[in-house]
Amino acid sequence: MGDILAHESELLGLVKEYLDFAEFEDTLKTFSKECKIKGKPLCKTVGGSFRDSKSLTIQKDLVAAFDNGDQKVFFDLWEEHISSSIRDGDSFAQKLEFYLHIHFAIYLLKYSVGRPDKEELDEKISYFKTYLETKGAALSQTTEFLPFYALPFVPNPMVHPSFKELFQDSWTPELKLKLIKFLALISKASNTPKLLTIYYRKVFNTDIHPNCNKEILQQLHQQLVEAERRSVTYLKRYNKIQADYHNLIGVTAELVDSLEATVSGKMITPEYLQSVCVRLFSNQMRQSLAHSVDFTRPGTASTMLRASLAPVKLKDVPLLPSLDYEKLKKDLILGSDRLKAFLLQALRWRLTTSHPGEQRETVLQAYISNDLLDCYSHNQRSVLQLLHSTSDVVRQYMARLINAFASLAEGRLYLAQNTKVLQMLEGRLKEEDKDIITRENVLGALQKFSLRRPLQTAMIQDGLIFWLVDVLKDPDCLSDYTLEYSVALLMNLCLRSTGKNMCAKVAGLVLKVLSDLLGHENHEIQPYVNGALYSILSVPSIREEARAMGMEDILRCFIKEGNAEMIRQIEFIIKQLNSEELPDGVLESDDDEDEDDEEDHDIMEADLDKDELIQPQLGELSGEKLLTTEYLGIMTNTGKTRRKGLANVQWSGDEPLQRPVTPGGHRNGYPV
């Protein structure tokens, strides 16, 4: 009884606080009166109305500082009134704080009348840079925020494509709305009476009611879905690395034994070196190695080992479940835009995350044999028409899926069966002005199409070279992906005689654009610029134009600054520029050559799955789970023998590129 009386004042105070919070005004008066009559002391608690008014004042001050761009006032209030456990432990709060720092860093750029005060702008940028180097460093591994770590170092962020979204009129109001919602949620949690907090803790094992945390739970669920998808990718990488590791350990042990044997005077035979290399090289190269490599020549084995180590093919990779493609295609055409987007995303993920080899080939052959994209159909309503959807998300996800198809040689062959595919992509490329990623994926697909000669011819005839040259006049406004794939596509088209003739019509403009690109900071484009220049300079009229504009002097400037490979390529270009006669074969048209001139590379780049627009809500199906739950079909044999290509054709690096390539394949050096 004594213990109860000792805490009676606090317990009565909790009851009074709850009655005040729940607005039981008459009950509260009666309760307080009766406590007074009985001589029961009430523990003093902060009144609800006082708490509410104080909380509202803090919220108003924070929002006012946000609107006025008052960085110091805002973050002083932020750190004082938002608990460190929330600021450091809640992912939503961390992301919001990151974007708030961006808001204040670019505030003067967005809202100053005339030129912003340089000293004040430098101070804000410096504050943001300090944040990135300290507390903000925790998010540096998050793809969403990675581009913004370059913001303090970009001279004019307003025109940089990576920061285009920040300077749109809608960005600041949307961020302000997120801030207000967050403050309201925090305020509601802090104003909860202690009695209610004790109840929530007992029943829900949390300090606030789950409904108050619904938005955070949904975000956590979305993060979980993304994390699961990433974990599958990382597991595949781990398995591949582990297989390579075990293989290398085995070979290393044998080589150590061989070295010990040489100490005893035993010789290592060329056949033994050949067997070691065959174990390390990919299956596709074994036959050529066995017949064409001279292992008696000094240095051959070590050179091959350094240059051509290939991934070991994993065994027992499971085949993915078959799908009901008839139902799937019906929903792609007639379903809601949200369902269409999730289906397109899931189908793309199935292709991009499948294991290279039998599993990926089986997925692709299933898509093709069931005519997933309706390339063989002549119906007015087809899956291909989603490229012209009124929904930005559906349009983008259809472009991503087509780009994924085009990343694989058999996929390109399938898409090429329908002439409308190329026309639709060219139209979308020229019309798409709302969504950068949609245009990137359309461009990526067209660039991969340019590996096939009939499609090259069609693109040249459609005037795509003129469009590319016009876009490349202002490369600083292009994303890295758009720049690389535009230049690579231009080069592939310029390798054809008809393409060179097109360039001759606007020789001065083409030469100026290419010479400007030689000095661009993105060095990935240099091989394609060099290849395009070397190719078009085989045309006498273009050579004359280049000499008139002093092209040799321009090229020699880059010889002084370039690396060894770049220097050698430019020397070849200068030699071409100063040649008087056409090289053998240039006078003849190359339009009748065999269409299987394509290098049969499969290039599944990571950009296909970057910056996903949609995330599933709590309980909503997505990805492989959506496909196998709603569209599970009967397993059928869709295997097909891969046709042989020219995958073994190698580029020395000394000369400019003279065969069609795609950026992903050129960088990797081998099929993915």
Q: Is 323 helix (H, G, I), strand (E, B) or coil?
A: strand
Q: Find the mean pLDDT for residues 46-69.
A: 76
The region that residue 78 occupies, defined by phi over 0 for left and psi between -120 and 50 for alpha, beta otherwise, is: alpha
pLDDT tier at 305, thresholds 50, 70, 90: very low
Least confidently predicted of 53-67, 368-382, 518-532, 581-595: 581-595
Least confidently predicted of 93-102, 109-118, 223-232, 375-384: 223-232
pLDDT tier at 118, thresholds 50, 70, 90: confident
Q: Find the mean pLDDT for residues 577-602.
A: 57
Phi/psi of residue 354, each to 5°? Answer: -70, 155
Q: Which residue has the tokens 């290419």?
A: 514
Higher pLDDT, 413 or 521: 413
Question: In the chain, what percentage of residues exceed pLDDT 70?
Answer: 76
DSSP character for 70? Answer: -
What pLDDT, on a 0 to 100 scale, did the predictor assign at position 290? 43
What pLDDT, on a 0 to 100 scale, did the predictor assign at position 31? 87
Q: What is the pLDDT of residues 249-260, one digit of tens each?
A: 777 777 777 777
Residue 240 predicted with pLDDT over 50: yes
Least confidently predicted of 225-239, 295-309, 494-508, 579-593: 295-309
Q: Which residue has the tokens 């339009």?
A: 591
Q: What is the pLDDT of residues 611-640, one digit of tens each?
A: 888 988 888 899 989 998 899 876 544 444
Burial classification of residue 189, based on how many CB atoms lie within 10 Å of its CB (0-12 exposed, 13-18 middle, 19 or more buried): middle
Ranked by mean pLDDT, the top range of 7-16, 425-434, 559-568 is: 425-434
* Torsion angle defined by CA atoms of residues 646, 650, 656 and 660, in that order, rounded to the nearest 10 degrees: 20
What pLDDT, on a 0 to 100 scale, did the predictor assign at position 46? 44
The amino acid at residue 296 is T
Residue 391 predicted with pLDDT over 90: yes
Maximum Cα–Cα distance for the chain, whole Å?
A: 115
Least confidently predicted of 100-104, 182-186, 278-282, 525-529: 278-282
Angle at the Cα of 642 (from 640 to 646), degrees rounded to 5? 170
CA distance 420 to 397: 19
Residue 33 predicted with pLDDT over 80: yes
What pLDDT, on a 0 to 100 scale, did the predictor assign at position 378? 80
What pLDDT, on a 0 to 100 scale, did the predictor assign at position 484? 93
b/e for 192-229, b at 16 or more Cβ within 10 A?
bbebbbeebeeeeeeebbeebbeeeebbebbeebeeeb
The CATH number of the domain covering residues in 313-462+602-635: 1.25.10.10
What pLDDT, on a 0 to 100 scale, did the predictor assign at position 98? 93
Nearest to 511 by CA among 535, 480, 483, 488: 535
CA distance 447 to 491: 10
Residue 394 predicted with pLDDT over 50: yes
Q: How many CA within 13 A on the CB side of residue 411?
A: 27
Ranked by mean pLDDT, the top range of 175-189, 224-238, 277-291, 375-389 is: 375-389
pLDDT tier at 116, thresholds 50, 70, 90: confident
What pLDDT, on a 0 to 100 scale, did the predictor assign at position 315? 36
Residue 369 predicted with pLDDT over 90: yes
What pLDDT, on a 0 to 100 scale, did the predictor assign at position 645? 42
Nearest to 484 by CA among 610, 25, 492: 492
b/e for 632-663, b at 16 or more Cβ within 10 A?
ebeeeebeeeeeebebeeebeeeebbeebbbb
pLDDT tier at 560, thresholds 50, 70, 90: low
How many CB atoms lie under 10 A from the CB of residue 361?
Answer: 20
pLDDT tier at 356, thresholds 50, 70, 90: confident
What pLDDT, on a 0 to 100 scale, did the predictor assign at position 670? 34
Average pLDDT, the chain: 79
pLDDT tier at 653, thresholds 50, 70, 90: low
Inter-axis angle of helices 480-494 and 526-536, to 10 degrees?
20
Q: What is the pLDDT of residues 286-296, one digit of tens each?
A: 444 444 444 44
CA distance 420 to 136: 48
pLDDT tier at 237, thresholds 50, 70, 90: confident
Residue 654 predicted with pLDDT over 70: no
What pLDDT, on a 0 to 100 scale, did the predictor assign at position 569? 87
Q: What is the pLDDT of residues 490-502, one digit of tens each?
A: 999 999 999 999 9
Q: Is 632 helix (H, G, I), strand (E, B) or coil?
A: strand
Residue 273 predicted with pLDDT over 60: yes
CA distance 396 to 382: 17
What pLDDT, on a 0 to 100 scale, did the predictor assign at position 487? 94
Under 8 Å between Cβ of 495 and 535: yes
Under 8 Å between Cβ of 45 and 13: yes
Q: Find the mean pLDDT for residues 544-550.
A: 89
Residue 562 predicted with pLDDT over 70: no
Q: Is 526 helix (H, G, I), strand (E, B) or coil?
A: helix
Q: What is the pLDDT of residues 61-97, one digit of tens each?
A: 999 999 999 999 999 999 888 878 788 878 888 899 9
Higher pLDDT, 667 or 77: 77
What pLDDT, on a 0 to 100 scale, did the predictor assign at position 592? 53
Higher pLDDT, 415 or 380: 415
